[in-house]
Structure 1
């Protein structure tokens, strides 16, 4: 873990690499999306693709169409898996190709997704990576064997498909919300606006260094887990940090699906879940068998799931919520969690990071660059 003095450096905006600088890249493999940093003309860019890996189809039918889909076939344990931005076109059933178990980070799908991310990096010109930053949910990060496994498994020369290889010199592993913490200092104006609007005891911050004097609760509602880190003076408080499984987006979508199935009077299979998910994100009806079903009437169902997840987090904080100065939310869908937390703790500023889905991987890149420079 970075020391408090180093954590201030981690939040500094880093300049694009000089040609001689170490190549640093980051991958955040979530249950819903893979986020990664790649080389581009402006330095480093962030892209993402779904966390699905489909056994590759070698038939000629796959090549039919007006364009080639944006995917790669990567090798894992002697088999090929299709991964990438357009992997949904290969999907057969809503849950096929996903893994939302606690063993995800040791599994075939995780390896395929990580190799897919490395393949995007290779195609952007990075066939050697000096430092690769990987993330784990808090409960997974707390397992030293899991961290050691990732380091051992992804250091060295890796086959990423089609005869291409990527060499990774060193891997470091971070707890996922720590990436978001490292990136807070980039958003000081927006953060201070929320602090001012809240009207509690916390005063606007003069600089990012002031964060090191605070107790900051990082909250990361993901696809499967709700992660939280309590960071005091730049260091994690492990006793008040944790994760709740089946407390993320997947549980919300499943609850809406069950309520909708009761309404329509028939079972709804796993292929319906992605449609419900997208409809909830867009605030639109979901279309099933040619009929549009409004989902706004299930808002109480959604909020009951979110409130239960927050209750599990508050219980896991072990009364440390009394010392929290600031709550920061990252992840792909934090708005309802923000609303619940604002009602629960009205005097504590609750700040949603801009582009929250990419906040962790952006911070991982900053952490990696700071460590490489030192």
Structure 2
């Protein structure tokens, strides 16, 4: 597998000038779409996100009622319109409708609608042409060359993003999702060294980001549906010790809590309850059902059993390569419990959670793209 020059990729490029290529990045996850857009002053980029939900567009007049227009767009896919965007939850009826968590996600209508929605946000920010677009895939899908080729072929060229607007994409680069987090490690070098020092294992604080190329770094990305991991040795991916476990992410945790709560209440809880349980777990608040508030703290053993099982599946997939790991770096939207399990399993290996971990992959994609465009 060809690998990029990761030393160069981790260099933070200078701000783009008006003559610089326009580079943008999209990370379509099962839970959220993360993307880079032109910032307000036009000199750089900022990261935004919206839910990974695409709903058949409602053309009725009811949609226009309210005190403000919701922040969504109707984008065309296969002759139909799908509503996507930051306020798409206002159009949702039921907790899981509008999502796709299958292994064919990358080539389905929902993925296409979400990607076009991200491109539409870029167009609204002022970019009707993109010189280089970086897209991400889960590790198990990235390992399939046909899937990488599909994304490159499908999103290069003129893309109709709805309402008569088109985004022209000159080149597409596809990356494994956790590789973005690896490229962005240098943004948080001091915090990383603080964790290394606190761990007190064999690894000494690193003198510079270039020292990462001498290490075996395990990138772990617990997402909404999958748990992805990449073993990166001397800046190159070890494909035999990298992989993904399906149904090993946030969705499984939420489902386990919901099933336990339903069993305690003596009634099944439908898909509309799942977002409420998810929000309550994230915010550590009670979930309100039928006017009654339920404390979810008592389900912590259930949560940890799910996380521990997922980590065990990853360790099995590493094929004994955990013996050579120098550093573990966690990215993704909810890494804390995975950090706790990994720290307990490997107390002498530093386990570093990237700050703003949810956006770490797309930040790294942006850096990778800028470095490739400059080269």
**Shorter-chain TM-score: what band?**
over 0.9
SS of residue paired to 2:192: helix
**Number of the residue aligned with 1:192:** 193
1:298, distance to aligned residue in structure 2 (A): 0.3
Distance in 1, matches of 2:368 and 2:165, equals 28
Distance in 1, matches of 2:70 and 2:129, equals 26
**1:215-364 mapped onto 2 (5 Å cutoff):** 215-364=216-365
Is the aligned partner of 1:148 residue 2:117? no
Distance in 2, matches of 1:189 and 1:225, equals 29
SS of residue paired to 1:115: helix
Q: Is the 8 A contact 2:3 2:237 kept in 1?
A: no
Q: TM-score, normalised by structure 2?
A: 0.99
Stretch of structure 1 that moved more, 322-331 or 42-51: 42-51
Q: Which 4+ stretches in 1 moved above 4 angstroms?
A: 1-4
**Number of the residue aligned with 2:26:** 27
1:207, distance to aligned residue in structure 2 (A): 0.5
1:187, distance to aligned residue in structure 2 (A): 0.7
The Cα offsets for residues 213-235 of structure 1, whole Å up to 9 and x where unpaired, read as: 00000000000000000000000
Q: Is the 8 A contact 1:218 1:230 kept in 2?
A: yes
Is the aligned partner of 1:77 residue 2:78? yes
1:114, distance to aligned residue in structure 2 (A): 0.1
**Number of the residue aligned with 2:211:** 210
Q: Is the 8 A contact 2:201 2:350 kept in 1?
A: yes
Q: TM-score, normalised by structure 1?
A: 0.99
Q: Can you give the 5+ residue segments of structure 1 that lack an aligned partner in the other structure? A: none
**Number of the residue aligned with 1:10:** 9
Distance in 2, matches of 1:16 and 1:117, equals 22
Q: Is the 8 A contact 2:22 2:130 kept in 1?
A: yes
Aligned alpha-carbon RMSD (Å): 0.8
Distance in 1, matches of 2:76 and 2:15, equals 32
Distance in 2, matches of 1:147 and 1:12, equals 25
Distance in 1, matches of 2:24 and 2:208, equals 27
Q: Is the 8 A contact 1:130 1:168 kept in 2?
A: yes
Distance in 1, matches of 2:275 and 2:98, equals 13
Distance in 1, matches of 2:27 and 2:61, equals 33
Distance in 1, matches of 2:228 and 2:277, equals 24
The Cα offsets for residues 52-75 of structure 1, whole Å up to 9 and x where unpaired, read as: 001000001100000000000000
The Cα offsets for residues 31-90 of structure 1, whole Å up to 9 and x where unpaired, read as: 000000000125100000000001000001100000000000000000000000000000
Q: Can you give the 5+ residue segments of structure 2 that lack an aligned partner in the other structure? A: none
Aligned pair count reads 373
**Number of the residue aligned with 1:53:** 54
